[in-house]
A and B are shown apart, each in its own frame.
Chain A
Amino acid sequence: MTETYTPEQSMKSGRYLDYGGQYLPEILLPEIKRVEAAYNKYKDDPDFLNEFHTLLREYAGRPSLLYYAKNMTEDLGGAQIYLKREDLNHTGAHKINNVIGQALIAKRMGKKRLIAETGAGQHGVATATIAALFGMECEIFMGKMDTDRQRLNVYRMELLGAKVHAVTSGSQVLKDAVNAALQNYAARSKDTFYVMGSAVGPHPFPAMVHDFQSVISKESKQQLQDVAGRLPDYVVACVGGGSNAIGSFAEYIEDPTVQLIGCEAAGKGVNTSKTAATMKLGSTGIFHGMKSRFLQNKDGQIDAVYSISAGLDYPGVGPEHVALMDSGRAQYVPITDDEAVNAFEYIAKEEGIIAAIESCHAVAEVQKLAPTLPKDKIIICTLSGRGDKDVASIAKYRGIELNED
């Protein structure tokens, strides 16, 4: 399949080749149309953009650094490696970029209440943070499995004034949190805005997330131009739903010399059932408001998936990523738990950076890719978040029990 994919038209129509759309119950459709109209009204509005960029700069701490990873580059002995440091943003991940954008739309729509789903808790923390800043009510939906394994983030959200619901339906992880958030949205859409955290869901959410996260690649393009005077050869990012990846790729999609690589969670391996490698193993389906690619059985029942990373533990992927794959514009590679954990330790020791286990799926790919390339090639790898939240579970993975009492 080699249909050409151009983002601009797709973001307007909500159709990314055959993917995307608005597959939601009628009870939510009128509200989704209002969100779409509000987004179209404000996305190019100078006041909106001014407020968005001011908050990114003065509250989130942007621009994030593009850091030349000298030690990794020398150790791996191939391409030059630059790290796009989204982990240095306020709240410790790229999630804040999108939350600021969507919350500003919500405010302009007159909404008083923000709801969100969260897996690892990064998006929930970012949403709770902006709700606190804007003086809005906030409720976060999180699978019970995830509230148990990310207790620190639950408490963090509560400190910020949010109410956290532990979702006990289904497999009690991210997809079930999205289900619960959608149900709450249907009941409360009058005063509520659903801040979708990833590049998934019905149009206009994938377009909004692309738009608000594209600041990552707008900056990296300029930053690399400033230090190296050219485009990168590769951009590497991890993909769950695909928000940091779409933000990392966005400005390069129409630069054909830049290779785009998304790293998805293979869990225990793509030959096992304990995996979340949607691109490798999934097929086209309709779920969570979108036509996209999902891990599912032959009847179309959505699989319970697995990854060590709560943020990548999702059975689907954003529709634009599937269009990028089908058109041949981006490649997607599976990275196992083992490879990601090794990368977690590697980047900590080499560069003194404790990166999120999600981001370490991208680091693992860089470890494989860089040595195969000549020294004049440049890789940008996005570190989507910081890894403090993962320290305890990585220790456990290595058989070390940390006593936090």
Chain B
Amino acid sequence: MSKLTAAFTKGKAFIPFIVAGDPDEDSTVSNIIAMAKAGADIIELGIPFSDPVADGPVIQEGDLRAFAGGITVDAVFDIVAKARKQVDTPFVFLTYANIPFKYGYDKFCARCAELGVNGLVIPDLPIEEQDEIRPFTQKYGLDLIMLITLNSGDRVPALAKKAEGFIYVVSSEGITGERDEFDARLSGLFNEIKKYTDVPAAIGFGIHTPEQAADLSRFADGIIVGSAIVDIAAKYKTAAAPEIGKYTEAMKAAIS
């Protein structure tokens, strides 16, 4: 079983996200360690991209702070190498297609495997275009994480069947006003996914509070939180680790 899938076997998984290099390398290492100690089941690290079109303003600003701190792709690998010495939690990278493409898919995937990164989330590499990287993720044993949304419709079977590691169910915050209908559509989507795969499905869609996490974990196998943690990083800057740790603990407790 993949290390990412295995992270879901002990109950509902909590998957926090931070931007690598926000605001500097050492803080990111401390934040990763804090999240791992607080019970994170998988840690998602964003490799900043100049034009993160799939991210909202909070994460875009996190990327900008990381660039201001001089982040590079090799520096992100250095962060992972340092953190890996102290934590055993599985890692996934979230980044845009141009980053691994430009680094060279082979070289990028090799480096990930060498440092113990277990999977890749690449929002702008949809299933139609994944064939160009898949030979390399397979060669090095990385899971290519499939994204599924409320818009996916009749694409769900094909996406679910190709899934590995875990599935990232993503939706926009824009529709949270219609809460009841939204819940019904989401639980319907999870039921649909389960028809085609045993790969666990986690949800990330602007979840902030332990209450929301508990609520969504009724049907989701895991909870992914990005913006709320990047907000803490923004507020506490180089001293965010204890706060991020506390938050992670509360969220993990809410879904346990």
Contacts and interface: CB of A to CB of B under 8 A. Distances in A.
B254 interface: no
B101 interface: yes
B128 A27 contact: no
Interface stretch (B27-35, B82-90, B150-158, B220-228): B150-158
B178 interface: no
A60 to B, nearest CB: 32
Contacts of A22: 126, 128-129
Interface string B95-119: 0111101110000000000000000
Contact of B155 (A29, A299, A302): A29
The residue in A182, A294, A300 that gathers the most chain B C-beta atoms within 10 A of its C-beta is A300
A285 interface: yes
Contacts of B238: none
Contacts of A169: 57, 60
Contacts of B147: 25-27
Contacts of A189: 151
Contacts of A288: 51, 53
B50 interface: yes
Interface residues of B, number: 35
A186 interface: yes
B73 interface: yes
Contacts, number: 99
A394 interface: no
A234 to B, nearest CB: 35
Nearest to A14: B128
A286 interface: yes
Contacts of A170: 50-51
A24 interface: yes
Interface string A70-104: 00000000000000000000000000000000000
Interface string B119-153: 00001111111000000000000000001110111
Q: How large is the interface on A (under 10, 10 to 19, 20 to 34, 35 or more residues)?
A: 35 or more
A363 B256 CA distance: 68
A280 B5 CA distance: 46
A24 B98 contact: no
B98 A187 contact: no
Contacts of B128: 21-22, 29
Contacts of A186: 54, 172
Contacts of B103: 299-300
Interface string B31-55: 0000000000000000001110110
A30 interface: yes
Interface string B199-232: 0000000000000000000000000000000000
B72 interface: yes
B126 A29 contact: yes
The residue in A28, A189, A284, A301 that gathers the most chain B C-beta atoms within 10 A of its C-beta is A301
> Closest 3 CB pairs between A and B?
A300-B102, A301-B50, A300-B98
Given A25-B124, A170-B51, A283-B102, 17 more contacts: A24-B124, A25-B126, A26-B151, A27-B147, A27-B170, A29-B126, A29-B128, A30-B151, A30-B155, A179-B53, A187-B172, A286-B125, A299-B102, A300-B98, A300-B99, A300-B101, A300-B103
Interface of A: 21-31, 169-170, 175-176, 179, 182-183, 186-187, 189, 283-289, 294, 296, 298-302
